[in-house]
Amino acid sequence: MATWRSRVNVSSMRRAGRRSFATALACLLIAVFCVPALSADDPDNRFLSAAQDRTFIMRALERERMAVPPQLAVTGVTVPHHLLAADLIARGILAASGGTYERVLILSPDHFRALKTPFGITTGDLPTVMGELPADRALAEKILRASPLFADVGTVPREHGVHAVSPFVRAVFPRARVVAITTATNSTPADWREAAELLSGLVGRETLIVQSTDFSHFLPVATAVLRDQETLAALASGDPDAVLPLTQPAHLDSKASQFIQTALQRKLHGAAPIIIANRNANEYSPTHGPTTSYVVMAFTPQPDQGWRLGYSDQHVMYFGGDVYLGRGWTQPLMRPDTADWLAAQIKNLTGGHPLAINLEGVVLEEDPAGANGAQHLMLARLAMPVLGRLGVTAANLANNHAYDFGEAGFDETTRLLDAVGIKAVHHAALADLGGAKVLPLTFKRGYFFDHPVIRSLSQLDPVCASQGASPLIVLPHWGGDYTAVAQDFESQVLDKLATCGVSAVIGAHSHQASSKVELRAGGALQSVFSMGNLIFDQSGPAVSGSLVELRVFRQGTITLRIIPVPNLFESVKSR
């Protein structure tokens, strides 16, 4: 993976053509400082001048093009329409470049407030510097006949929400037909629902939906980042209704487009979103004035393969639930191919990105005399090769089995992990995992030896006082066995952490995986109560497991995604 700390190099934008970059920057400054209802009577067409520069478009695409198109089914993307962020427009369109599509449906805000109806639809071919995009007139006419919500807007010649992205569409999908829908600022959620229902029966599964949307507007950088975090948390849920509490344009400039995109993805494809970029304009041209934010999303019915969309301006890592490579796993691990099989199962879901696990037990070189079956023992000669093959970079020892053999066993486990390059992270000790800082906390007492635990909310005060570089991820070991949601005390903990600047809480212990990311404080805190089991010797319907993907963007915002993991113990027994 490329160096995550790298910064946007403005000089590389200048190499794309000084005139084009200056034009794009002018577009941004106008968009930031203008009144919300833009004027279409712009004789210089400053919002679109850079879109007429073929070299500018091609260089943006080349900067973001992967050596091999992503081997991932992508059914929709969200991209900016400020050409200052042309590289992010290119990133979104190229994320879908591994697929073939009969048509592209563009969703755009009506910047100039020209619509007399909730929606407009194009019926003409769209000219671009890369060549003409032929209109799908048959689809446009069906939509116009089907609903009075839509009006014919021809080719909307000055709408940069359409024409800033259309050259990229033409360059990557030259054979696709296109229809663009503009959404009125004053359209209502009832309009959005009706439009999504209508479109779901007409656009077809062979359509790529390109949502052209900029996000927070007119805000100081620090405030924009806060609004972005709230927005990212809502978007990552994949729930169309999650857009409803957001504000326009403080969170995004087209709630209608976002709702329709998400609703169509859910209904047509069962697709989930993967957020692959979050920046603001200040990264391109630092100023002390207000800024605009950008988000790039890809929707896919293969969310477990989202690691295939990885970029140098973000850090991607995975967290796994309970791992116990002893007891029922001892015999399978004596077969040489078991470690290979386990590595293949996990790396198919992580792509080999760094993995932090909850190591539920003690690793020793020999089986101590007098050990009983309730003590969680893993033999180093069996466990360590597996952890290495899985790509484990950190093991969380803040749990109720890490002290099953006392302080001596705990220290020996730490030593053995360190010897193979796996960072052992301990209760209440802040650890830097590269892209994020983690704070493990255990709320569960051990069975055999005493160790520190969190028993009251007041013990969390040091968390609030220790804020440093964001983001901070708390890893609690908590909850009752076979539960997947927070109970009263855990909810109180989450509420307290949400006020402390904690970005995310990712829990373990209960052996049952949570099904969704919960939001607190309007999305400022994202939490997964439990990851359940990753590799554990339990079977039956009460147990389940997952991985949690963490993406950290350069401005400190994050997203979480839950990736279900099958019961690997049941699978290995049937091999």
The pLDDT-based confidence of 6 (bands split at 50, 70, 90) is very low
Given this model, what pLDDT does residue 45 score?
A: 56
- Neighbouring C-beta atoms of residue 294, cutoff 10 Å: 27
Alpha carbons 207 and 261: distance in angstroms, whole number: 12
- The mean of the pLDDT values for the chain is 91
Given this model, what pLDDT does residue 19 score?
A: 39
Give the N- to C-terminal CA distance of the chain in Å, as an integer.
34
Given this model, what pLDDT does residue 360 score?
A: 97
> Within the chain, how many helices (H) and strands (E) appear?
17, 23
Give the CB-side neighbour count of residue 129, counting CA atoms within 13 A.
16
Return the closest-CA partner of residue 197 out of 105, 266, 101, 271: 266
Per residue in 523-560, pLDDT (tens digit) is 999 999 999 999 999 999 999 999 999 999 999 999 99
Alpha carbons 333 and 569: distance in angstroms, whole number: 11
- In DSSP notation, 349-393 reads HHTT--EEEEE-SEEESS--TT--TTS-EEEHHHHHHHHHHHTEE
Given this model, what pLDDT does residue 205 score?
A: 87
The correct answer on CATH 2.40.360.20 for the domain covering 12-306 is no
In this structure, are strands 423-425 and 392-396 parallel, antiparallel, or unpaired?
parallel
Alpha carbons 543 and 345: distance in angstroms, whole number: 18
Per residue in 403-450, pLDDT (tens digit) is 999 999 999 999 999 999 999 999 999 999 988 999 999 999 998 898
Per residue in 325-369, pLDDT (tens digit) is 999 999 999 998 999 999 999 999 999 999 999 999 999 999 998
Given this model, what pLDDT does residue 67 score?
A: 85
Tell me: pLDDT of 41 over 70: no
What is the CA angle 468-473-477, rounded to 5?
130
* The two structure tokens encoding residue 509: 């212990």
Alpha carbons 386 and 341: distance in angstroms, whole number: 10
118 DSSP assignment: S
Strand spans (E) along 67-132 = 76-79, 103-109, 119-121
Given this model, what pLDDT does residue 25 score?
A: 44
Alpha carbons 93 and 100: distance in angstroms, whole number: 12
Report the pLDDT averaged over residues 483-504.
95
Report the pLDDT averaged over residues 71-85.
97
Let me know: does 120 contact 187? Beta carbons within 8 Å: no
Q: Tokens 């020209």 map to which residue? A: 114
The correct answer on CATH 2.70.70.10 for the domain covering 314-573 is no
Per residue in 299-316, pLDDT (tens digit) is 999 999 999 999 999 999
Per residue in 146-203, pLDDT (tens digit) is 999 999 999 999 999 999 999 999 999 999 999 999 999 999 999 999 999 999 999 9
Per residue in 449-487, pLDDT (tens digit) is 989 999 999 999 988 876 655 699 999 999 999 999 999
Please indicate whether the domains covering 12-306 and 314-573 agree at the CATH topology level: no
Return the closest-CA partner of residue 372 out of 334, 411, 401, 414: 401
* The two structure tokens encoding residue 111: 């910047």
pTM (predicted TM-score): 0.91
Given this model, what pLDDT does residue 61 score?
A: 98
Given this model, what pLDDT does residue 468 score?
A: 59
Alpha carbons 320 and 528: distance in angstroms, whole number: 12
Alpha carbons 565 and 567: distance in angstroms, whole number: 7
- In DSSP notation, 512-545 reads SB-SS-EEEGGGTEEEES-BBEEE-S--STT--E
Per residue in 84-103, pLDDT (tens digit) is 999 999 999 999 999 999 99
Tell me: pLDDT of 501 over 50: yes
Per residue in 280-293, pLDDT (tens digit) is 999 998 888 899 99
Alpha carbons 342 and 350: distance in angstroms, whole number: 12
Given this model, what pLDDT does residue 467 score?
A: 62
* Rounded percentage of the chain residues whose pLDDT exceeds 70: 91
Tell me the CA distances in angstroms from 220 to 27, 118, 214, 246, 503, one per residue in order.
18, 31, 16, 18, 20
Given this model, what pLDDT does residue 20 score?
A: 40
- Beta-bridged to residue 119, according to DSSP, are 150, 183
Per residue in 405-416, pLDDT (tens digit) is 999 999 999 999
Q: Which SS3 state, helix, strand or coil, does residue 195 take?
A: helix
The pLDDT-based confidence of 23 (bands split at 50, 70, 90) is very low
Give me the helices (H) in 201-327, please.
Answer: 221-236, 255-264
